[in-house]
Amino acid sequence: MRILNASGCLDALAAPEVARQLDAFVTKTVTPLPREGNAPPRIAETAHGMLNAIGLANPGRERFLAEHLPRLRELGLPLWVSVGGFCADDYAETCTHLEGIEAIELNLSCPNVDEAADSAAEIVAACRRTTELPLFAKLSAAHPDVAEVARAVAAAGADGLSLINTLRAVALDRLLRPALARGSGGLSGPALKPVALHAVSVCHEATGLPIVGMGGIETGRDALEFAVCGARDIALGTVLFSDPGAPTRVREELEAAATEAGVVIVDDGKGLAKSPETQRKVPA
Ligand SMILES: Cc1cc2nc3c(=O)[nH]c(=O)nc-3n(C[C@H](O)[C@H](O)[C@H](O)COP(=O)(O)O)c2cc1C
């Protein structure tokens, strides 16, 4: 099992020592044009999680490619670039400019922008025509049948899935006003974990594609639960804000968590090779 960061939860240039604990670094989502993002406050704490309404703030494709990507390469880590946009052509155009990275993650699921996107399968198909790099489709569990979306993006040429993005939610402040200027935001952190485990489980059943599981992972035990539900690799998001040492800690905790649960992790170089015990079916 490899440990990645969840997109948008780590600035590798500001905190290279955190990034170097990872097996691969995933960038913040890049859109064709620069975006300031939403007005502050854009972050709020909730019970068992946090809300963010960053709104895909990023320098835009041109500056990302010219300034950020070359500096990220200096970290010496395998890189995943998270690509966003507002129509299939936006995504496909960015994909044509990407090379020398390990994979592209297509952010098909940001809850913090108002623009309606083309369908997930349409976007994946457009990107598939422009690049041979592995394409990971990042989906939201907000869809009533996430497995159906997973099947559609698999048929359109996705090589893997990243599951899950945040879920739209609201928090109120002491005076009962929305805590975020935008009103709603994306819920992340431990509150998301059961939803994410379900999504990983049904999408694994539906497609058999490699899955990067994320959503509230804080411990080695959490990571193991994602593996049992079908994730090959995992990503750490919200936990990085409170514990920058989480990648190393979670990696260390994995072994003990597996022993305690009576399962064995066999690393075959591709991720988690499941032992017979971990192959047991997890009910959808
Ligand atoms: C502050 C913040 C910014 C995020 N930005 C992005 C982003 O740019 N692109 C994306 O695909 N997901 C983004 N996400 C979602 C995370 O990548 C991840 O899917 C989600 O937070 C669930 O994982 P977690 O509970 O471990 O944080 C963001 C999450 C947070 C908390």
> For each of the chain's 284 residues, which pLDDT tens digit applies?
999 999 999 999 999 999 999 999 999 999 999 999 999 999 999 999 999 999 999 999 999 999 999 999 999 999 999 999 999 999 999 999 999 999 999 999 866 555 556 799 999 999 999 999 999 999 999 999 999 999 999 999 999 999 999 999 999 999 999 999 999 999 999 999 999 999 999 999 999 999 999 999 999 999 999 999 999 999 999 999 999 999 999 999 999 999 999 988 776 544 444 555 445 444 43
Residue type, 138: K
pLDDT of residue 284: 38
pLDDT of residue 264: 84
Question: Cα–Cα distance between 65 and 27 in angstroms, integer?
Answer: 12
Pick the residue whose CA is nearest to atom 31 on ligand 1: 238
pLDDT of residue 22: 98
Ligand 1 site-directed mutation target among 7, 26, 45, most atoms within 8 Å of CB: 7
146, 140 in Cβ contact below 8 A?
yes
Q: How far is the centre of ligand 1, averaged over its atoms, from the C-alpha of 10 (Å)?
A: 9
pLDDT of residue 155: 98
> Tokens 């800690």 map to which residue?
249
pLDDT of residue 266: 72
pLDDT of residue 111: 62
Residue 70 lies in a domain: yes
| R_g of the chain computed on alpha carbons | 18
Residue type, 173: D
Which CATH number does the domain housing residue 10 bear? 3.20.20.70
pLDDT of residue 273: 47
Residue 181 lies in a domain: no
Residue-wise burial string across 15-35, b where 16 or more C-beta atoms lie within 10 A, e elsewhere = ebebbebbbbbbbbbbbbeeb
Q: Dihedrals φ, ψ of 265, to 5°? A: -100, 125
pLDDT of residue 3: 98
Residue 186 lies in a domain: no
Strand partners, 169: 185
57, 35 in Cβ contact below 8 A?
yes
Residue 245 lies in a domain: yes
Question: Cα–Cα distance between 205 and 250 in angstroms, integer?
Answer: 26
What proportions of the chain, in percent to the nearest 5, are helix, strand and coil?
A: 35, 20, 45
Residue from 157, 164, 165 nearest 209 by CA: 157
Q: Which ligand 1 atom is nearest residue 138's CA? A: 11
In a 3-state reduction of DSSP, which class is residue 106? strand
Q: How far is the centre of ligand 1, averaged over its atoms, from the C-alpha of 275 (Å)?
A: 30
> Do β-strands 25-26 and 49-52 pair in parallel, antiparallel, or remain unpaired?
unpaired
Q: Which of 95, 110, 127, 203 is catalytic?
A: 110
Look up 203 and say whether it is catalytic.
no
* Domains held by the chain: number: 1
Residue 182 lies in a domain: no
> Tokens 């035990």 map to which residue?
221
Q: What is the largest CA-CA distance in the chain?
A: 54
Question: Cα–Cα distance between 160 and 33 in angstroms, integer?
Answer: 26
Residue 82 Cβ < 6 Å to ligand 1: yes
Q: Cis omega (within 30 of 0) on the bond before 3?
A: no
Question: Cα–Cα distance between 16 and 6 in angstroms, integer?
Answer: 15
Q: How far is the centre of ligand 1, averaged over its atoms, from the C-alpha of 188 (Å)?
A: 7
Q: How far is the centre of ligand 1, averaged over its atoms, from the C-alpha of 31 (Å)?
A: 15
Residue 199 Cβ < 6 Å to ligand 1: no
pTM for the whole structure: 0.94
Ligand 1 site-directed mutation target among 50, 166, 197, most atoms within 8 Å of CB: 166
Residue 107 Cβ < 6 Å to ligand 1: yes
Cα distances (Å, whole numbers) of residue 156 to 52, 140, 150, 211: 30, 17, 10, 16
Q: Which domain holds residue 118?
A: 3-38+55-173+192-279
Question: Cα–Cα distance between 235 and 213 in angstroms, integer?
Answer: 6
pLDDT of residue 94: 98
Residue 77 lies in a domain: yes
pLDDT of residue 270: 45
Residue 72 lies in a domain: yes
Question: Cα–Cα distance between 243 and 21 in angstroms, integer?
Answer: 12
Residue 179 lies in a domain: no
Residue 38 Cβ < 6 Å to ligand 1: no
Question: Cα–Cα distance between 239 and 246 in angstroms, integer?
Answer: 7
Q: How far is the centre of ligand 1, averaged over its atoms, from the C-alpha of 259 (Å)?
A: 30
